[in-house]
């Protein structure tokens, strides 16, 4: 069932793939990454584990409530979570519950995939969101491993792929037992790409799910001063945000920026030099005092703590054409949320929140400045926006359980 065209193209690219993988492993100082991506590694032998693949950080966070629900329902069965990036692996080890094993998924070479599946021998494969790997899908089908795409979504780029690539995708989707889509639009996209319509179901967006049994208590403040958080920012957003921040009344508030990629710190500091700011950096353990203008949080695993007590949370990747980032975490914490025009990666979530008057979407930098000023001058407006955001989350409390019910109908789970 392998596509010879696809395999030929993959092997032509293999030298570049190897160099890229090696560089990633060296940067992350993670020797497991290089070995794992080629299907090697020391797997803890457990009988028929549930395997969940989450490509990177966003997919790991989406998988978290599913993992917790599966552990509750299938307490006698082990769970293995794989990622395709070192950063995703680190977040998985930080966020997922004890007893969950984190490994790295193989690159889609036949040898790597077969080594991985032979060693792991999973009872089922749950692929989070958007990963379409023809070799992996075909290998699961040939081994009778139930394959389910969870919280399935498709990007416009995938849907507009060239005809030859769409044929490969169609063949891969024919290997899937069921596709559990996050929205009707995503269901239609998978059918248009070639998935059998009877195998595609709409369940909803699992990212709305709260962690089963999680406490609702707000974490203690990590900063003593009142602050606004710009979360998961990308290149040029930091400069633009600082520029508008300095042109509006701040009333002594601190600006906190958490870049999506912490390794960009040096470049961010370079871009902000013309503003002559007093900057403190989290990774350097810099102290914050009343004179600090900006605090840069360039660490992993702490974003929720900073979200929890921010007076306003701006969602990065939305002022520029990067498609935005997850708005559900600050919503779950009841924070007032603002985002820009580019929320293509979270279009359904953005639409739901805007229609519910539970978040503010702005069109440009000027509108962002005005929105921030209005919120900072009105505690009542901030509280109401945060309350509405939390109420949207509350509508979807059982969604993780709905996914587990569907998974149980297709997978060999140890205890239901």
- HEC profile of the chain: CCCHHHHHHHHHCHHHHHHHHHHHHHHHCCHHHHHHHCCCCCCCCCCCCEEEECCCHHHHHHHHHHHHHHHHHCCCCCEEEEECCHHHHHHHHHHCCCCCEEEECCCCCHHHHHHHHHHHCCCEEEEECCCCCHHHHHHHHHCCCCEEEEEECCCHHHHCCCHHHHHHHHHHHCCCCEEEECCHHHHHHHHHHCCCHHHEEECCCHHHCCCCCCCCCCCCCCCCCCEEEEEEECCCHHHHHHHHHHCCCCCCCEEEEEECCHHHHHHHHHHHHHHCCCEEEHHHCCCCCCCCCEEECCCCCCHHHHHHCCCEEEECCCCCCCCCCCCHHHHHCCCCEEECCCCHHHHHHHHHHHHCCCCEECCCHHHHHHHHHHHHHCHHHHHHHHHHHHHHHHCCCCHHHHHHHHHHCCCCCCCC
Q: Global pTM? A: 0.73
What is the pLDDT tens value at each position of the chain, 416 positions in all?
A: 557 788 888 999 999 999 999 999 999 999 999 999 999 976 676 778 999 999 998 899 889 999 999 998 888 889 999 999 999 999 999 989 988 999 999 999 999 999 999 999 999 999 999 889 999 999 999 999 999 999 999 888 888 888 988 999 999 999 999 999 998 989 999 999 999 999 999 999 898 886 544 445 566 778 999 999 999 999 999 999 999 999 887 778 999 999 999 999 999 999 999 999 999 999 999 999 999 999 999 998 899 999 999 999 999 999 999 999 989 989 999 999 999 999 988 888 999 999 999 999 999 999 999 999 999 999 999 999 999 999 999 988 889 999 999 999 998 776 54
Q: Which of 59, 64, 237, 238 is catalytic?
A: 59
Ordered structural domains, the chain, with CATH? 4-209+398-408 (3.40.50.11720), 227-394 (3.40.50.2000)
Is 59 annotated as catalytic? yes
């Amino acid at each position: 069932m392998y596509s010879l065209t696809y395999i030929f193209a993959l092997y032509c690219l293999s030298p570049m793939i190897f160099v890229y993988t090696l560089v990633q492993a060296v940067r992350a100082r993670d020797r497991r990454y290089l070995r794992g991506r080629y299907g090697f590694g020391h797997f803890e032998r457990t009988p028929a584990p549930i395997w969940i693949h989450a490509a990177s950080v966003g997919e790991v966070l989406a998988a978290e409530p599913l993992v917790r629900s599966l552990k509750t329902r299938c307490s006698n069965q082990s769970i293995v979570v794989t990622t395709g990036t070192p950063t995703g692996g680190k977040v998985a080890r930080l966020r997922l519950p004890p007893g969950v094993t984190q490994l790295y998924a193989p690159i889609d070479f036949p040898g790597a995939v077969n080594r991985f599946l032979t060693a792991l021998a999973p009872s089922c494969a749950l692929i989070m969101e958007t990963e379409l790997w023809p070799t992996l899908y075909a290998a699961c089908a040939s081994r009778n491993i139930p394959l389910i795409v969870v919280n399935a979504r498709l990007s416009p780029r995938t849907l507009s792929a060239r005809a030859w690539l769409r044929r490969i995708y169609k063949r891969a989707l024919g290997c899937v037992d069921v596709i559990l889509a996050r929205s009707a639009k995503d269901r239609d996209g998978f059918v248009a790409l070639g998935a059998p319509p009877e195998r595609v179901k709409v369940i909803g967006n699992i990212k709305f799910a709260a962690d089963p049994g999680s406490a609702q208590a707000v974490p203690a403040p990590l900063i003593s001063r009142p602050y606004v958080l710009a979360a998961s920012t990308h290149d040029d957003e930091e400069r633009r945000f600082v520029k508008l921040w300095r042109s509006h009344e701040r009333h002594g508030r601190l600006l906190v920026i958490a870049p999506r990629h912490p390794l960009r710190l040096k470049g961010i500091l370079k871009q902000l030099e013309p503003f002559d700011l007093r900057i403190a950096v989290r990774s350097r353990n810099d102290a914050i005092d009343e004179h600090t203008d900006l605090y840069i949080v360039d660490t992993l695993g702490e974003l929720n703590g900073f979200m929890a007590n921010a007076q306003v949370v701006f969602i990065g990747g939305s002022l520029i054409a990067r498609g935005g980032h997850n708005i559900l975490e600050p919503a779950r914490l009841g924070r007032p949320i603002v985002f820009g025009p580019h929320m293509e990666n979270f279009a359904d979530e953005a639409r739901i929140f805007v229609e519910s008057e539970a978040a503010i979407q702005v069109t440009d930098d000027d509108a962002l400045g005005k929105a921030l000023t209005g919120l900072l001058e009105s505690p009542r407006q901030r509280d109401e926006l945060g309350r509405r955001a939390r109420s949207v989350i509350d509508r979807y409390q059982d969604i993780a359980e709905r996914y587990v019910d569907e998974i149980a109908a297709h997978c060999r789970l140890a205890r239901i």
